[in-house]
């Protein structure tokens, strides 16, 4: 099953006998958010959303509170499961997640649902800006779903696993190149990257409209970075959100990848962990 869905395909699906549950996961990274003033996705949702969509709060329902495990550690599964059931998610119901266009937050929802056992979840390619149908401001009250998260035994990396993968496989750093090189670091304690990690900004996964590049282009791009279907591949970013977008791009390309959820926000919080700077992995 394709991991993404176009706006026209979504419109058709919503008219079908088995319409998907819609998750509105609008969120954005900012230095204000790091200072405790997060983007108000709920207000954006209230101003207009795809009919039937339910708002999901990334910071509170798709992650636990910031701490030693990073800015967006894995959520408490009871909290996550309750949020999904409130939105109407059931094990046998298709799900489509969308955000404001960048795709990171929607990909986090996609990744969590996939990792916890949901078999049919996709991301709206291009997010809300790609949707040319009607919007509504009233929040729906869907019937309670029955989805119970059951985490997979693989697909997640901790700090030690990420370090090992950087040595023995391919660890991709999904942040902007200047953060990877250590030239700037607007949020975390120190700039740079995990030794051995390869720079692979998420911005190169999409076109100018924020839609994913074709599978063949993504496969070629990741292949040049050493990531192939036969190689063990992992991804990290600042806090495990944009890295989910990279895992989604790898999925489109046919390349399985694990996610280091704690990412750089966890790695850089421990001064004992090594930090590399500059354009080269080492």
Average pLDDT over residues 23-46: 75
Give 33's pLDDT tier (boundaries 50, 70, 90).
Answer: very low
DSSP 150: -
- At residue 37, the pLDDT reads 55
From the CB of residue 133, how many other CB atoms can be counted at a distance below 10 Å? 11
- Treating both helix axes as pointing N-terminal to C-terminal, what angle do 242-252 and 215-224 enclose, rounded to 10 degrees? 110
237 is catalytic: yes
Whole-number pLDDT of residue 31: 44
pLDDT the model gives residue 35: 46
Q: What is the pLDDT of residue 191?
A: 95
Cα–Cα distance for residue pair 38/34, rounded to 1 Å: 7
Task: Locate all alpha helices (DSSP H) within the chain, ordered by sequence.
Answer: 7-14, 31-34, 41-47, 58-61, 77-86, 104-115, 159-168, 177-181, 215-224, 242-252, 263-267
Q: Which domains does the chain show, CATH number per domain? A: 4-130 (3.40.250.10), 156-267 (3.40.250.10)
**Region 146-151 average pLDDT:** 97
pLDDT of residue 28: 81
pLDDT at residue 257 greater than cutoff 50: yes
Amino acid 41: pLDDT: 87
Segment 130-149 shows an average pLDDT of 96
Measured in whole angstroms, how far is the alpha carbon of residue 277 from the centre of its chain? 25
Which pLDDT value is given to residue 153? Answer: 85
CA 6 to chain CA centroid, Å, is 18
Q: Which residue has the higher pLDDT, 234 or 35?
A: 234
How far apart CA 108 and CA 64 sit, in angstroms, is 13
φ, ψ dihedrals at 43, nearest 5°: -65, -40
Tell me the C-alpha distance between 97 and 263, whole Å: 23
Q: How confident is the model at residue 218 (pLDDT cuts 50, 70, 90)?
A: very high
Percent of the chain whose pLDDT exceeds 90: 93
pLDDT at 215 exceeding the cut of 90: yes
Rounded (10°) CA dihedral 36, 138, 147, 92: -140
- Per-residue model confidence (pLDDT) at position 30: 58
**Which tens digit of pLDDT belongs to each residue from 165-193?**
999 999 999 999 999 999 999 999 999 99
Residue 229: pLDDT over 70: yes
Tell which wins on pLDDT, 12 or 29: 12
Q: Region 201-218: what's the mean pLDDT?
A: 96
Q: Which of 237, 252, 258, 261 is catalytic?
A: 237
d(CA 138, CA 188) in angstroms, rounded, equals: 38
List the structure tokens of 132: 């040319």
- How far is Cα of residue 165 from the mean position of the Cα atoms in its chain? 20
Q: Which of 77, 268, 226, 225 is nearest to 156 (CA)?
A: 77
The pTM assigned to this predicted structure is 0.95
User: Whole-angstrom Cα distance, residue 243 to residue 202?
Assistant: 8
Query: Which pLDDT value is given to residue 40?
Result: 82
């Amino acid at each position: 099953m394709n991991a993404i869905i176009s706006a026209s395909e979504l419109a058709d699906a919503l008219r079908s006998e088995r319409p998907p549950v819609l998750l509105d996961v609008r969120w954005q990274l900012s230095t204000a958010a790091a200072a405790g003033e997060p983007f108000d996705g709920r207000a954006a949702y209230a101003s207009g959303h795809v009919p039937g969509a339910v708002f999901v709060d990334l910071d509170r329902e798709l992650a636990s509170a910031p701490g030693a495990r990073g800015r967006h550690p894995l959520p408490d599964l009871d909290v996550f499961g309750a949020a999904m059931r409130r939105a109407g998610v059931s094990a046998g119901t298709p799900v489509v997640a969308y955000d404001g266009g960048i795709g990171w937050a929607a990909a986090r929802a996609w990744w969590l649902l996939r990792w916890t056992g949901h078999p049919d979840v996709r991301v709206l390619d291009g997010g809300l800006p790609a949707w040319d149908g009607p919007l509504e401001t009233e929040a729906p009250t869907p019937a309670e779903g029955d989805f119970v998260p059951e985490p997979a035994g693989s697909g997640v990396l901790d700090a030690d696993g990420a370090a090992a993968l950087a040595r023995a496989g391919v660890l991709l750093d999904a942040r902007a190149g200047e953060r990877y090189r250590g030239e700037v670091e607007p949020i975390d304690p120190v700039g740079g990257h995990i030794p051995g990690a390869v720079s692979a900004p998420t911005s190169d996964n999409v076109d100018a409209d924020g839609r994913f590049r074709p599978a063949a282009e993504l496969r070629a791009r990741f292949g040049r970075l050493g990531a192939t279907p036969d190689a063990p591949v992992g991804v990290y970013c600042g806090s495990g959100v944009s890295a989910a977008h990279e895992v989604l791009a790898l999925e489109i390309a046919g390349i399985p990848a694990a996610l280091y959820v704690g990412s750089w926000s966890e790695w850089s919080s421990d001064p004992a962990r090594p930090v590399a700077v500059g354009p080269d992995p080492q």
